[in-house]
Amino acid sequence: MTRRVLLVAHTGRDDINQLTRRIAEPLSRAGVDLVALPGENDLLGLPCVDPRPDNSIEMVLGLGGDGTLLRAADKARPIDAPVLGINLGRVGFLAEADPEQLDGVIQAVIDRSYTVRERMTVDVLVEHDGVEITRNWALNEVSVEKATRERILDVVVEVDGHGISAFGCDGVLIATPTGSTAYAFSAGGPIIWPQVEALLVVPSNAHALFARPLVVAPSVEVTVHIDPKGHEAAMACDGRRITELPAGSRIRVRRGVQPVKMVRLGELPFSTRLVRKFALPVQGWRDKRH
């Protein structure tokens, strides 16, 4: 059976074609075809494959920043393929390797010498007046935000149908542990280790005393109800898939039925990854010499 690896890349970079050739040539010698998405294959100089469950794509290789890796996850999840991220961005928290590790990454793909870990996702259902507007999903977070800068978004946050708090805000994020180091972190939420299964609810610039981040069980449904007499909003899934929301909409978020599979090349502890990605200082008073 033909082995295929799908490349999802940041095609706007000047060095992307050189990196693509550096990946494709050794893979080809080992009998692995590097392929690309329709609309990107010509730019990358690769054969075109539209990913489907029946076309034997064994891995999706994301080459870029976190935005590119989220796009790779979007292509990988429906075909149940794992994602391997190579960071060409700044932080690249979703990536497994950096460009200087590329030769080792290629060899690991050829030898299949890697492990696969599942990452929790969220499924989202949006309703208005009892009518379904849309369904979507996210690996990092679902964000519900005010549609115009000068307005305040009035919401009620519910857990399993029970109201927790009502407040005006810039928005509300419902994040996974994977997304806790992304938008939710920037909004003041806690970092959750990937092994912890939970949902994270983070208000953004809320005008209320009790509007703190919440960490809730993965079995509950979190609902954000937009004031019917208030203003319109917008929902973004992983910052990519945007839906306009009329006043009165209910956004229901729960644990995703299908996780995203992520390739791991080693057993690097999450704490070490955290320190490296954020360049955290780890020397304290106990390390000082007097």
What residues act catalytically?
66
Of 119, 87, 110, the closest CA to residue 10 belongs to: 87
What are the φ and ψ backbone dihedral angles of 74, each rounded to 5 degrees?
Answer: -65, -35
CA angle 252, 258, 261 (to 5 degrees): 130
Tally of CA atoms within 13 A in the half-sphere of 215 that contains its CB: 12
Burial of 166 (0-12, 13-18, 19+ CB in 10 A): middle
Angle, helices 16-29/102-111, rounded to nearest 10 degrees:
30
Give the residue from 6, 8, 110, 103 showing the smallest Cα distance to 59: 6
Q: Rounded to 10 degrees, what is the CA torsion of 48, 49, 50, 54?
A: 170
Q: Which H or E run includes 68? A: helix 66-76
DSSP label at residue 268? -
Alpha-carbon gap, residue 76 to 188, rounded angstroms: 30
State phi, psi for 175 to the nearest 5 degrees: -120, 160
Rg (CA), the chain: 21
